[in-house]
A and B are shown apart, each in its own frame.
Chain A
Amino acid sequence: MDLGTQRVQVVALKDGAVVGRAQGFSGFDPTKAAEQAVNEALTQANLKLSDVNHFAATGSAMDMAPYVNSTVSMMGADAKAGVFLAPKARTIIDVGAEEARAVKTDERGIMVDFVVNERCAAGAGAFIEAMARALEVKLEDMGSLALKAERASPINASCVIFGESDVVSLIHRQESKPEIARAVFDAMADRVSAMMHRLGINPEVVLVGGVAKDPGFVASLNRKLGLTVVIPKYPEYVGALGAALIAATRVKEAPK
């Protein structure tokens, strides 16, 4: 279970393979939301609650997770799942709605170092959301819009609030929407790559978290880092998968 401030994801693992996957909104009752997602994932897998050997939880609200046998940090979960999905991965970047973090891992998926962005949404998904509002564009269209840009027009993006006025000044300079959209992703990628440089960038780099699904951000980040980040098929489930993988090792260590 990956129980975050906004969403909950659940992955069911059987004999080392994913057999169920479900998500929902955390809402006001994250415990209940997690219970529902667990049920859904188990139904997919044709399993019952009593079939589960070990429940592991991660995410900022992991203390509220139901059924829990053990917990693991979000960074630890990212490292574990990152290496599972891409065995050559040594750096995992996780960009979610409100936080970006980067984890350095060894070949066994054990994290060796990590950084978290400094309590500021300018390097996270919430920034794209705010900028989409300022541009009067749908959030899901921001990425494809940015890819149409012919050149870069830098903005500062020191924070979401000031970023918005930066965008307004670009609008006043009559920059096109694609260029402004790209400026938004470039600014975000700047923040994320600065954070990664403090950690040291070891290839391969895997990008996970909800924002990994945005082609605009991925293009900007690749340009900024000068490499191609690996994106798993279900980037938003990586935290939950990491927890499930760790649950599996804990079952082996201490059989029920």
Chain B
Amino acid sequence: MTKTVEKKFLPDVPKKEMDELRNTVKAASLKIIADNIERMKKADPHRPEAMKYFDDIANLFGQRQQEIQAEKEKGKKVIGYMCLFAPTELITAADAIPVRVNSGWYDTSKLGDRVVPVEVCPVIRSTIGAKMIELSPFLEQSDALISVLTCDGMTKLSEILGDTKAVWGMNIPRVKDSTQSLRFWNDEIKHMKTQIEQFTGNKINRKNLKEAIEISHRATKAFRRLQELRKGNPVIMGRDAMLVNQAYSWDDKKRWTEKTEALCAELEKRVERKDWVVSPDTPRVMVTGTPMFWPDNWKLPTLVEEGNPQGVIVADEQCSGERILNDPIGVDEWSMDDMLNAMSERYLMASTCPCFTSKDGNEDRINWLLNKVKEWKVQGVVYYVVRGCMLYAMEYTRVKKALDKINVPVYYLDTEYTREDVGQMKTRVEAFLEMLNARIDI
């Protein structure tokens, strides 16, 4: 049923070149995944047993790809998405599989340069490149994509990906605190419900939507339990927690919840035994800014946790991390209208994405950050931005002012989808950690 549509953006890469490139990048990626995991194991010689599951699921070309393929063969649809605003409960309710498809591969960003200029955010360029050589298992398996138009990059990315499959744009209002915004977004959610129903041929009803929301609720509970454990003396390395959090975006939701609960149970026992993963006086770092998509974007957390002096990441404020599941959908009565209203509120109002503004600017993000710093006893914040990521870059000044006020140091770290700047990053990250240590010693 492949229709020949004229491509508006993407070049036709000859099959042979495409295969060669895909094989090379895939081989390199498998090595990077293995290397990341190896280093995470080394950082914690008594790594929790439960992490083994997440190490396996971290292989993007492994078990999960095969599972989704098997489901597809049985007739299930896969609906991919880029931004977190995609209402995944609607997908689950319609008996389809939701999966996030942003690219974390450095190598494919160079391919994206054939389509858009290098000034464009590398997350976008890399996702384009991954599509060009059909690298990403989850992007390839997606029968349709939900693209929420959050930033300029995402808006045009959805047009570019539209060359190869159905892309459903969702128009997110940018003034968050106005009633018409919420009304408008509510209509978008309802429209998406119809869209998904038509595409999958499955009706979304009270029963299956309630079930889907309850799956999310249980996941949120497990998720929050894990972050809660990071409030005290360090009992898990930041990288391990970050991998668990991010794996939710491609894993089976019920199984992810079980495995995360198991991890938490193991960690809670360690807390009882006061079995800390690093010394309690290790500087406690929070990361905020551009999302860090697995597997290549692991250089900052690796530098922090393998640094000399060493730091430990206790929290993040990123859409590749804690923003994924932090907020439950607040349903009162389980009528269809109430569930859809609760979903639109949760997806719009709870988000701290810098695409928003309001009467007080993006006050919600500042409040989240300040609250995190306080409750997770954060001693320093790394503000991580990839070049071309305008919204995060521009919001830095305000964040810095807010953190200055409570005397918490923040370092602006800009980087690219490249491995070549690791040396320079190391210098800066270690200087920052040294500074945090000096403050702690006083």
Contact = CB atoms under 8 A, between A and B. Distances in A.
B423 interface: yes
A73 B425 CA distance: 12
B430 interface: yes
A115 B413 CA distance: 9
Given A60-B423, A71-B308, A118-B414, A112 B435 contact: yes
Contacts of A118: 414
The B interface, classified by DSSP as helix, strand, loop or mixed, is: helix
A113 B409 contact: yes
A4 B308 CA distance: 18
A75 B411 CA distance: 13
A55 interface: no
A60 B424 CA distance: 8
Most buried by B among A60, A72, A74, A119: A119
B438 A110 contact: yes
B428 interface: yes
A71 B432 CA distance: 14
A52 B85 CA distance: 61
A111 interface: yes
Given A71-B308, A119-B421, A112 B431 contact: no
B84 to A, nearest CB: 29
Contact of A73 (B412, B424, B427, B439): B427
B188 interface: no
A110 B442 CA distance: 10
Nearest to B396: A198
B345 interface: no
A116 to B, nearest CB: 6
A66 B75 CA distance: 64
B177 interface: no
Report, as a range, how many residues of chain A touch the other chain. 10 to 19
A111 B435 contact: yes
Given A75-B431, A76-B431, A111 B424 contact: no
B300 to A, nearest CB: 15
B430 A73 contact: yes
A253 B421 CA distance: 35
Nearest to A61: B423
Interface in B398-442: 409, 411-412, 414, 421, 423-424, 427-428, 430-432, 434-435, 438-439, 442
Contacts of B421: 119
A114 interface: yes
Contacts of A113: 409, 435
Given A60-B423, A112-B409, A74 B414 contact: no
Given A119-B421, A119-B424, A73 B434 contact: yes
Main secondary structure of the interface of A (DSSP, over half): mixed
B403 to A, nearest CB: 11
B434 A72 contact: yes
Interface in A79-137: 110-116, 118-119
A111 B427 contact: no
A76 B414 CA distance: 20
Contacts of A71: 308
Contacts of B430: 73
- Scoring A60, A73, A74, A112 by chain B CB atoms within 10 A of each residue's CB, the highest score goes to A73
A110 B431 CA distance: 11
A115 B427 CA distance: 12
A60 B432 CA distance: 15
B396 to A, nearest CB: 9
Contacts of B411: 114
B379 to A, nearest CB: 13
A190 B423 CA distance: 27
A149 to B, nearest CB: 34
- Most chain-A Cβ atoms within 10 A of its Cβ — which of B423, B427, B432, B434? B427
A114 B432 CA distance: 8
Nearest to B400: A198
Nearest to B416: A119
A118 B415 CA distance: 9
A68 to B, nearest CB: 11
B427 A76 contact: no
A76 B435 contact: yes
A110 B432 CA distance: 12
Contacts of A111: 431, 434-435, 438
A74 B429 CA distance: 12
A76 B409 contact: no
Interface string B172-197: 00000000000000000000000000
What 4 A-B pairs have minimum CB-CB distances, sorted nearest first? A73-B431, A75-B431, A110-B438, A73-B434
Given A73-B427, A110-B439, A112-B435, 14 more contacts: A60-B424, A71-B308, A72-B434, A73-B434, A74-B427, A75-B431, A75-B434, A76-B435, A111-B435, A112-B439, A114-B435, A115-B412, A116-B428, A118-B414
5 contacts: A73-B427, A73-B434, A75-B431, A111-B434, A119-B421
